[in-house]
Amino acid sequence: MRQAVAFMFCCSGLLQAEPIRIKGSDLLGAKVVPVLCEEYRRQHPTARFEIAAEGGEAFGRLPDFLAGRVDILMADKELGPREISPFEKAGVALTKSYAMTDFFAIAVHPSNPVESLTMAQVEALFTGEHANWKAVGGNDAPVSVYTRNTASSTYRLFQVAAMKGRPYSSKLVRLAGGELASMSVAKDPQGITYLGNLYARGKDLKVVKIDGIDPLGKDVRRYPLLRPAFYYFRDNARPEVKGLVTWMSTSPEAAEIVRKTGFLKME
């Protein structure tokens, strides 16, 4: 089931102003975009926003976007040819703007002796091909896999990014969010999960290197499981829509907000 979170910012006395309707992925919409819009409205008091963030795939909002009921689409991945096709057929040109970057950190229990994995080993652990930690240099103990549930776009995105689209292990435990996955692995010496930057820094977890790169270190730009997010809007969008996206994507103030909310801004 999709879970939606809606936000409304308005200014008394300025109710005639048309709101900018921002909808899509909760990767952006649950925290980052509301804070950005609050700061933008402080600088532009006449601005109004309607923000709806959904835990499922943002692309469920594409019909609304195509019909003009959404001004800015928040996307946790680039739109592919299949998603772009209806817009091309309708003669609607879109502009993509980089928003921020998250990553899939691979986290284990602090007592787990494994310090680094290859991408091939990550795939084998999450598909169940490696069902015992000793297959990757760990203890002789079964692997406990924790993931987001199927309603989350993260579930599918990780499957594509880290597992070549292969099915997850049949023995995995599906959870409602990153916080629950983090807490579960912190209590399970055999546990493994993937987490975004926001939850990967917990002191009760160990984040392992992937192909020798630590996502929490200075070489994060070379990390193989980066997850960029984007804003999409129509080429013929209202000036205030374009102005907001430009500010969110390029201003130093917006970049600082992105970093403070636990994500990466890669210029």
111 with 195, same domain?
yes
Mean pLDDT of 23-31: 90
Is residue 117 a contact partner of residue 136, using CB atoms and an 8 Å limit?
yes
What's the whole-number mean pLDDT along residues 155-160? 95
Same domain, 152 and 90: no
Q: Establish if 212 belongs to a structural domain.
A: yes
Structural domain contains residue 265: no
Q: What's the pLDDT score for residue 174?
A: 97
Structure tokens at 243: 């102005």
- Record the tokens describing residue 258, joined without a space: 């992105």
Distance CA 170, CA 61 (A): 31
What integer best gives the mean pLDDT of the chain?
Answer: 91
Together in a domain, 135 and 203: yes
266: in domain? no
In this structure, the answer to whether residues 16 and 33 fall within a common structural domain is yes
Give phi and psi for 164, each to the nearest 5: 55, 30
Q: Do 142 and 64 share a structural domain?
A: no
23 and 58, same domain (yes or no): yes
Asked if residue 147 has pLDDT above 60, the reply is: yes
Shared domain for 166 and 84, answered yes or no, is no
184, 108 Cβ separation under 8 angstroms: no
For the four alpha carbons of 158, 164, 167 and 170, in that order, the dihedral sign comes to: negative
Structural domain including 176 reads: 105-222
Task: Give the model's pLDDT for residue 55.
Answer: 63
The pLDDT of 237-245, averaged and rounded, is 98
Instruction: Return the pLDDT at 61.
Output: 77
Share of the chain above pLDDT 70, in %: 91
Q: Mean pLDDT over residues 36-50, rounded?
A: 96
The amino acid at 150: T
Same domain (yes/no): 161, 238:
no
- Exposure class string for 74-113: b at 16+ Cβ within 10 A, else e: bbbbebeeebbeebeeeeeebebeebbbbbbbbbbbeebe
Q: Does residue 61 fall inside a structural domain?
A: yes
Percentage of residues in the chain with pLDDT exceeding 90?
80
Confidence of residue 151 (pLDDT cuts 50, 70, 90): confident
Q: Is the domain of 13 the same as that of 77?
A: yes
DSSP string, 47-87: --EEEEEESS-GGGGHHHHHTTS-SEEEESS---HHHHHHH
CATH number, position 67: 3.40.190.10
**Residue 40 within a domain:** yes
Give the number of domains in the chain: 2
Cα 102 to the center of its chain, rounded Å:
6
Element (H, E) at 24: strand 20-25
